[in-house]
Amino acid sequence: MARKTIGESAQKGALALAFCVCAALPLRAEEAPAPVAAPPLSPSCEVPAVDIATPASLPNFAAALQKHQAVHILAIGSSSTVGIGSSGSNKSYPSLLEAILEHALKGVDIIVVNRGLPGEVAESTSERIRNEVALSKPDLVLWQLGTNDALARVSPADFEATVQSTIEWLKENQVDVVLVGLQYAPRLARDSNYAAIRDALKSIAAKENVLYISRYDAMRFIAQTRANLQLMSRDNFHLNDLGYQCMAEHVAHAVIISLFMKRVRPLSN
């Protein structure tokens, strides 16, 4: 099947997007960003670009990068942010992401702060986001969410209202947000509430035009095409080291692609 033949095709398609977006419009010399390729995916984590994310611009994060100062990212969410199931805190996705972004954005000091709490639902995280933003003033918030809300049987309507109001608050405070979606687990694939929360999250991202990381689609692709790879820890629910590695790679890939979507303006007539 075509989707199983990924190799270089997924890589080239994503890299082409990054460069085509930058080249699509005439630039003012002082506005032209240095060309940066999306970080390559390791063979175990390769998936088609469409299964990684729905890109969206990150104007505040891009502006912070242009100041050539340390850039601060707040990673917040539940156990997938904490790194439950990994072999150590340095194997959590925020820790791995920091290294990947610094390698891709050479010369930029990227500081990723991990504020995950196991078992948390979106309503509780929303309150913490407001406090954390006030304290640390991040340039970008990575909000991993949805899985616990689905398991707790939170109403999709209530979930959507909570997430949307938080995104609007972040926009008012000039902070970009990336929504890092639900994970894939075979035992939850037919759970109607799980699907409803996933659909709500996609809908919010589309309405608010924010970057959405499709963890479910990416993990499902790997599970269906590489049965010998295991992304889950022994509890078959939390991620293992490889799972977190792929999560970090996918987030970094999507962030770099999105950074170059709206960073340039056409020349005025």
All structural domains of the chain, each given as residue ranges with its CATH number in brackets, are 51-259 (3.40.50.1110)
**Element holding 194 (H helix, E strand):** helix 192-208
Continuous H helices in 55-146: 59-66, 79-82, 93-104, 122-136
- Could you tell me which residues come within 8 angstroms of residue 43 by beta carbon, excluding any fewer than 6 positions away? none
Structure token pair of residue 30: 């002082």
What pLDDT does 3 receive?
40
Query: pLDDT tens, position by position, for the chain (269 residues)?
Result: 444 333 444 443 443 334 333 333 333 333 434 557 778 899 999 999 999 999 899 999 999 998 888 999 999 999 999 999 999 999 999 999 999 999 999 889 999 999 999 999 999 999 999 999 999 999 999 999 999 999 999 999 999 999 999 999 999 999 999 999 999 988 888 899 999 999 999 999 999 999 999 999 999 999 999 989 999 999 988 999 999 999 999 999 999 999 986 444 433 33
From the list 217, 257, 251, 249, the residue with the least C-alpha distance to 42 is 249
From the list 9, 7, 26, the residue with the least C-alpha distance to 17 is 9
Give the separation between CA 110 and CA 103, rounded to whole angstroms.
Answer: 10
What pLDDT does 34 receive?
55
Give the separation between CA 90 and CA 87, rounded to whole angstroms.
Answer: 8
What pLDDT does 163 receive?
98
Q: Judging by beta carbons within 10 Å of its beta carbon (0-12, 13-18, 19+), is residue 203 exposed, middle or buried?
A: middle
Please tell me the pTM assigned to this model: 0.85
Starting at the edge strand found earlier in the chain, the sheet holding 176-180 runs: 53-54, 211-213, 176-180, 140-144, 71-77, 110-116
- Could you tell me which residues come within 8 angstroms of residue 8 by beta carbon, excluding any fewer than 6 positions away? none
Hey, is 213 helix, strand or coil?
strand
What pLDDT does 214 receive?
97
